[in-house]
Structure 1
């Protein structure tokens, strides 16, 4: 396989990256009609004198105001939810007590304390000011925090005309994308969430919202999709997990301000690791998937949210992939065909990344495959939360090179560049 350039940059888990999240306490009483814990907390805060409430709020703000974006507004937003739940008389409660009540029903959440892994990359929606040969990019990352709950984080950057990667600095505050109104937070079905108007994407996190997502949003594979009329949309597939059942869903956005989280239907959507082709092929939407947990399948549909059946097109052949295979993100269109990064699992559950080439007009035809892996867990890439794993959810083409962000041992994110033509030429 062609020699890769491994960038020295690594992204790692960072427990200092925190956001304010709702702290959920049961609304209803479990003690035979006695006030619930929520009602007790509210009544005791309301019973404080103005001076006591002010002193307690000042203590909270001393601890947390410098750590979060618009902390007081966050508390007030959370208070509004409590007021709606308990039907409080907000007009009779002063701002300080409302903020304090909001604080009692919030907590800090370190969203990337356990791991940062499994990235994907797409062209950034804003290429303003980019010199010829340079490209602004957007990466998604799977961030894992307390309780092993996965969320989606983002990082913006630039690949220069010289092939150098420069990441935008992370803002000091992270904010969670959320619905504008409490009643927009549907417990089932599609939901629309919004990025905070003052937050960059590098400072935005998407947390589980629906019941199907309650234990995590995993492995977002983003593609820059071109519709038949030439309009672009950023569409990503991810796995929603509720602790026992998985469900494939779509993230869809045209402006990265509002984002739709849409469950997919059909038998194929009950599996992990689906990846969307970045345009229709022969008038059909197409996906790659791993429906039996071992082989790569091709799916076609007239409806981007509904997927059935599928035909197996790639199965394990070489020693490094004999245990199982899967895609490593959306196919990349080249003059020679659709370039697909694949992952394979071999002896001792060692993960490797290889490639396949599919026919441009009929992707069910496999034109070539890599006999040897492009990337494999080795040396420093062995150690971590899950050893011997390298994994990507999507590479991106930049000129003649393939930019591959990839997860290392389910613990960190590394970056590599590969020459595309040399990669294709060495397939068989």
Structure 2
């Protein structure tokens, strides 16, 4: 019988978690004549010093206690507008500069609707960890106003005794942002930067480009080792613009700057892609769900261009007959590549299973679980989308697998499963 330890901790949606985001008003502009940006700045510059002071005081009364270094955020935002319009800040007082910055910001409750579909990797900083402990980093899909998904992070520690302790969330969150064109919404690759004073647990990455405008969904983080031994963290996610989806990469080497890179090719027009953590046979390898029903194996000479693919696994058991897909990047073990899978059965009930692939030839399936290792039951059934459990990536720590997983598209739970016990269930 499969051993499984469910941790008592749950993370839930929290409308009180708000962040100040840049308000790119020019992206919504249309028509001829002076831009909305220019008009708005002119209105503030034409205010008397007393009126500007009064208006700024009203803004600070409403928002200063709700956000971190609010005045500094406003001034930083003003600096971006100044650069855009070629203003002479030496001729503009601090109060008007802060007020201008405030007009180009807005408050956003990034996890008001849901918190779900986590992935996890070992943290890049393991200093000070005692034996048996591992510092971890999780990504979370946070859903806020307009059902728009963004990427949030939480840091924590797990132990070989099924213990989990998350680092406290800072009282204020900050949005990563691009240093780009204020006048047009970016397209194609873009780089966003974590605020220099913000922790990862207080950082949120929002949609930036047109292709991402309705959400960054289901980031699957992979700790990738290149042929030269260098390390990079690469995540695959789905960019959604309200009508179309495409797969993209999040890439970082320092967790300060994040490259958001669209993928090309036929395979990238689908969701749910997951990268192997190293090349195999000199090629990059990826799992995907080309037809929305089966798991496919893809290989490429390029990290960003993915075509073709071959069917790897098809629904076989009752709990996965509707469809199946991966639940995150494959995990290398002595026995083979361990792949968590999701299956959808009767009444659209989601479950999590596992499969084992050959290390040298992952097109060979060594075994797969006949029964789920995790399924929606009891309190896990209720939520925004009932009867769903789902993960975007787990961590092997010692002889156990640490699995953070989404529950009913509403909260996040945590489980520890012995790897060998899981493999023993495979046929």
The verdict on a shared fold, with TM-score over 0.5 as the criterion, is yes
Q: Distance in 1 between matches of 2:346 and 2:53?
A: 62
1:323 paired residue number: 322
CA contact (8 A) 1:151 1:205 kept: yes
CA contact (8 A) 1:300 1:307 kept: yes
User: What is the number of residues matched between the two proteins?
Assistant: 427
CA contact (8 A) 2:27 2:184 kept: no
2:104 paired residue number: 105
Q: Matched residue of 2:223: which SS?
A: strand
1:217 paired residue number: 216
Post-superposition offset of 1:98: 1.4
Q: Distance in 2 between matches of 1:342 and 1:134?
A: 27
Question: Where do 1:121-270 residues align within 5 Å?
Answer: 121-182=120-181, 187-270=186-269
1:13 paired residue number: 13
Q: Distance in 2 between matches of 1:287 and 1:32?
A: 47
CA contact (8 A) 2:26 2:182 kept: no
Q: Distance in 2 between matches of 1:37 and 1:306?
A: 39
Post-superposition offset of 1:32: 7.8
2:62 paired residue number: 63
Cα pair distance change 1:32/1:7, threshold 3 Å: closer
Q: Distance in 1 between matches of 2:184 and 2:328?
A: 29
Deviation digits for residues 116-154 of structure 1 (CA, Å, limit 9, x no counterpart): 000000000000000111100000000000000100000
Question: Where do 1:31-46 residues align within 5 Å?
Answer: 38-46=37-45
Q: Distance in 2 between matches of 1:303 and 1:166?
A: 38
Structure 1 regions of 5+ residues with no counterpart?
none
Cα pair distance change 1:28/1:286, threshold 3 Å: closer
Deviation digits for residues 42-69 of structure 1 (CA, Å, limit 9, x no counterpart): 3332232212211221221122122222
Question: Where do 1:398-413 residues align within 5 Å?
Answer: 398-413=397-412
Q: Distance in 2 between matches of 1:29 and 1:263?
A: 26
Post-superposition offset of 1:40: 4.8
Question: Where do 1:277-288 residues align within 5 Å?
Answer: 277-288=276-287
Q: Matched residue of 2:77: which SS?
A: helix
Post-superposition offset of 1:411: 0.4
Cα pair distance change 1:295/1:201, threshold 3 Å: same
Cα pair distance change 1:135/1:425, threshold 3 Å: same
CA contact (8 A) 1:10 1:413 kept: yes
Question: Where do 1:338-417 residues align within 5 Å?
Answer: 338-417=337-416
1:337 paired residue number: 336
CA contact (8 A) 1:132 1:161 kept: no
Q: Distance in 2 between matches of 1:183 and 1:100?
A: 18
1:427 paired residue number: 426
CA contact (8 A) 1:27 1:36 kept: no
Q: Distance in 1 between matches of 2:422 and 2:28?
A: 60
Cα pair distance change 1:425/1:29, threshold 3 Å: closer
Q: Distance in 2 between matches of 1:123 and 1:31?
A: 50
Post-superposition offset of 1:22: 2.5
CA contact (8 A) 1:235 1:250 kept: yes
Post-superposition offset of 1:25: 3.5
Cα pair distance change 1:31/1:246, threshold 3 Å: closer
CA contact (8 A) 2:27 2:183 kept: no
Deviates more, 1:121-130 or 1:79-88: 79-88
Q: Matched residue of 1:16: which SS?
A: coil
Cα pair distance change 1:253/1:78, threshold 3 Å: same
Deviation digits for residues 164-203 of structure 1 (CA, Å, limit 9, x no counterpart): 0010000111111122454799711111121111111000
Post-superposition offset of 1:351: 0.3
Deviation digits for residues 95-132 of structure 1 (CA, Å, limit 9, x no counterpart): 21111122122210000010000000000000000011
Structure 2 regions of 5+ residues with no counterpart?
none
Q: Distance in 1 between matches of 2:31 and 2:122?
A: 55
Post-superposition offset of 1:228: 1.5
Post-superposition offset of 1:262: 0.9
Q: Distance in 2 between matches of 1:417 and 1:184?
A: 48
Q: TM-score, normalised by structure 1?
A: 0.95
Q: Matched residue of 2:178: which SS?
A: coil
- CA RMSD, Structure 1 to Structure 2 (Å): 1.9
Deviation digits for residues 70-107 of structure 1 (CA, Å, limit 9, x no counterpart): 21222123223444555544343212111112212221
